[in-house]
Amino acid sequence: MHHPFDPVRTMNSLTEPLHQHHKHCDELFADAEAAAAAKDWSRCKSMLERFRDEMEGHFRTEEEMLFPAFEAATGMTGGPTQMMRIEHAQMRELMGQMQAALAQTAGEAFAGAAETLLVFMQQHNMKEENILYPMCDRSLAGQAADLGPKLHEKLEAECLAAQ
């Protein structure tokens, strides 16, 4: 029987892998944050590296493949995708701040940057999942058969390259 608190599987869409990958990055974030809270700095270092690499892979998949396809299909170049690029840059900065705190094993500074990144990342993901991805799914529906697997492959390749 379907557990009443488990999410219902959404329809397979072009952006589904990116959607799922958000959750995966959440897990990696939570591990890195927990390791820092436990002052297990060596574990934190490896978890943070993994988290940053996967985030970077995610950003690149969007910035190098999904966004250009969306912009080409809609002609919207200065709108939502631009906003998302700026937010990616801000998250890169915050991850840099976490890295710097880690290098100094500064627990409080790490926790502060992590907290900020978490809230920022969640509101960013929500905007993508609720607004931008559905817009992409609609405007790129014609290319889904081709672009869908490509997106998936790129995301996997970027993240595998990271490991």
Q: Which of 9, 75, 78, 119 lies at the binding interface for other proteins (CB under 8 A)?
A: 119
Q: Which is nearer to other proteins, 72 or 126 (CB)?
A: 126
Q: Which of 16, 50, 99, 112 lies at the binding interface for other proteins (CB under 8 A)?
A: 112
Work out whether 130 is an interface residue with other proteins (CB under 8 A).
yes
Pick the closest to residue 109 from 59, 57, 56, 41 (CA basis).
41
DSSP secondary structure string for all residues of 55-87: HHHHHHHIIIIIHHHHHHHH---SSHHHHHHHH
Return the structure tokens found at 61. Answer: 């998949």
Residue with tokens 């990116």: 18
Q: Which is nearer to other proteins, 3 or 145 (CB)?
A: 3
Instruction: Give the amino acid at 110.
Output: F
Residue with tokens 């952006």: 15
Binding residues among 5-44 for other proteins as defined by CB under 8 A:
5-8, 26-27, 29-31, 33-34, 37
Using CB under 8 A, count the residues that bind other proteins: 41
Q: Minimum CB separation from other proteins for residue 46, in Å?
A: 16
Query: Helix/strand/coil (H, E, C) string of 24-41?
Result: HHHHHHHHHHHHHHCCCH
Residues that bind other proteins (CB under 8 A): 4-8, 26-27, 29-31, 33-34, 37, 76, 79-80, 83-84, 89-90, 93-94, 97, 108-109, 111-113, 115-116, 118-120, 122-123, 126-127, 130-132, 135
